[in-house]
Amino acid sequence: MLKNLQKIFTITFIIISLIFTSCSSNNKKVENESIPDFHFEEVKPFTQIANKYKNPNYLSSIISILTDKTNPNIIYVLTGFGLFKSDDGGLSWNLLQLPVNNVTGASIDNDGDVYLTCYDGVWASYDRGMRWEGILFESELSNFEEYEPITISQNRIYVNTGWKVFESEDKGAHFKEISINIDLFRMTEYSINKVRADPNNPNVIFIIANRRLLLSTNNGENFNLLNVRTESMEYDEVSDIAVLKGIVLAIAHRANPPFDEGDLLLSKDYGKTWKVVQEDVPFLSLIEDPYNDTNLFAFGKFVFGNGLFQIYDYGSSYQYLGVSNPSAVAFDWNNRNHIYAGTSCGKLFESKPGKGNLIIVDRDAYPVTSIDVSNGSVYVAKKGVYKSEDQLHFEKLTNVGDFIATGNAAHNSILIGLIDGGIFTYDEASRKLIKLSNEKVFSIAEDYKKLNAYIGTEHGVYKYSFEKGILEHLAFEDEFPVVAVDSANSDVIYAAAGIFKNGHAIYRSEDGGKS
C-alpha cells in the first residue's frame, strides 16, 4: 500500500513539474507578447535523407544549421557526414558535393555566402554551394572537438584554429592573424575555445582561451586577461559570452563545467565589473536572438540543463523551450517564431504553432515538490518558494534550505517544510519567515475546512493551525513520510509509516489526530 502511495505521489510530482515551475530568481516579469509560442516537431524529410547516408564511421551529430537571410527557403545542415541543403524550406534535401571530407564547422554571412572549416583550411562558396574555393590554408588547424572553429559578426570572419585566430574583413579575400601575447597565451595553455566580437564595435573582440576570458579593444592588436568577479564571488572559468549592444553576458563557473552549474553575469563596461543576474543557470552556450537585441537563446549539454532555453531582457528571466540534446540553432529570417534546432543525435526539429490547451508556464532543472492555490495566488515549492498572482509569472519569495518538501497556503500565510530540516511559516504582511521547528519534513496535507495542516516528519505527525498560528505534535516518534486528510470528513486522517522500527504500516485517526 505504501509503495502504491509513493508511486502516486511520484507520478503527481512529475506531471506537476511539467506544467508549473519557475526559473526566474527575481521579481522582474516577462510580458506575454514577448514570449513566442514554441512547439517543436521533427523535420522528417531531413531524417529520411540523413538515414539514407548514415554511416557508423561518421558522426551523426548536427554540427551547424545555417539559414540564408536573402532567401529564407534555403537551409543548410552540417553533420559529421557532410553538408545537406534544402531549397524549399525543409521539404526536400540534397547532399552537397564538397571539396573536402573532414568538415568541422560552418557559417553563413549576411549575403548568403557559406564558409566551411576543415582540418587544414577554410573553404567558401559564393553561389549557394555550387562551387567551392579555398580561402585559408593552415596546417595547424585543430580537430575542433573542444573549439568553435568559425564565427561571423557583421560579415567579419573569425577563424579559430585552436592555437591561432585569423580575421578577414573582405569575405575571405585576405586574412590577418590576431596575435596574443605569448605570456598570456602560455597562461591559457595555448588553447582557444571561442571568439566573440561586438557587432556594434569592431574594435572589441573577446576570446575565451582555456575557459579564461581575454579582451581586445583595438581590433586584436593586444589582449588583456579579464578577472571575472562580482562583489562577493570570483569565478574560475567562463563557458560562453554574448555581446548585446555593448552589454556583455557571460556564463561563469566556480569549478569545472559542466559539473558546476554556472551563474549568468552581466557587464556594462566590457568586463571590468560584473553583477549576477541569474544564479545556477542550467545552460552552457549562448546564441543571440536576431529579432531582439536584449534576448538570447541558450542550451545546456548536461543532464540538469539538457534542452533549449530562451533568455529575456539581458538575463532577467528565462524559459525552457524543449528539444533534448540540442547542438545547433538557426532562425527563419521571415518569421521570428520559426526556429530550427539540431541535436547531437542527428535529429532536426523546427518550431510549429503551439497545440492543445496545456500551458507550460516555465521549466528548469529543479523538481517541483508541491503547488497550492490560495486567494487566487499560486504558490510553487521547488528550490525556493515562488508566488504568482496571474498564474503565468512567478516571483521568488525565499530560498531557505536546499530542496523544499512542500508548501501550502491558507489564511494569508504559507506553511513551508524542508527536507533537510525546518518547518516555517511565511507571513505576507511582514514578508518574513517564522521558524516553528527543526523537524525534517516529508509531506504536508491540508484541511481546507478547518484551516489546519498535518505534517509528516522524521519524528511523527504534527498539526499546524493557520487560524491560531500554533504547531503541536500529535502522535508517534518515528518517521511518517506520507499524511492525507479525507476531503469528505476532515476528522479522518491517514499516516503511512516509512522507515519505522516496528515495520511499515498505515494508521488512521477519526478524531483529527487526537488518537
- Work out the average pLDDT over 79-106: 92
State the Rg of the chain over Cα: 27
Q: Is the pLDDT of residue 101 over 90?
A: no
What the block records as the C-alpha cell of 259 is: 559539473
pLDDT reported for residue 400: 55
- Work out the average pLDDT over 269-298: 90
Asked if residues 510 and 491 have their Cβ atoms less than 8 Å apart, the reply is yes
What the block records as the C-alpha cell of 7 is: 508511486
In whole angstroms, give the CA distance from residue 197 to residue 204: 6
| pLDDT tens per residue, range 333-344 | 888 888 999 988
| pLDDT tens per residue, range 376-387 | 677 776 666 777
| pLDDT tens per residue, range 329-372 | 999 988 888 899 998 888 899 987 654 434 445 555 456 666 66
* Angle value at C-alpha 231, between 229 and 235, nearest 5 degrees: 25
In CATH terms, is domain 2-17+366-509 a member of 1.10.620.20? no
pLDDT reported for residue 16: 35
pLDDT reported for residue 391: 60
pLDDT reported for residue 91: 94
Q: Is the pLDDT of residue 113 over 50?
A: yes
Asked if residues 332 and 339 have their Cβ atoms less than 8 Å apart, the reply is yes
pLDDT reported for residue 108: 96
pLDDT reported for residue 124: 96
| pLDDT tens per residue, range 33-82 | 344 567 888 999 998 888 887 765 555 789 999 999 999 899 999 998 89
Residue whose C-alpha is closest to residue 424's, from 449, 404, 448 = 404
Q: What is the pTM of this model?
A: 0.65
Asked if residues 224 and 180 have their Cβ atoms less than 8 Å apart, the reply is no
For the chain, the domains span 2-17+366-509
| pLDDT tens per residue, range 187-214 | 666 688 899 999 888 899 999 988 899 9
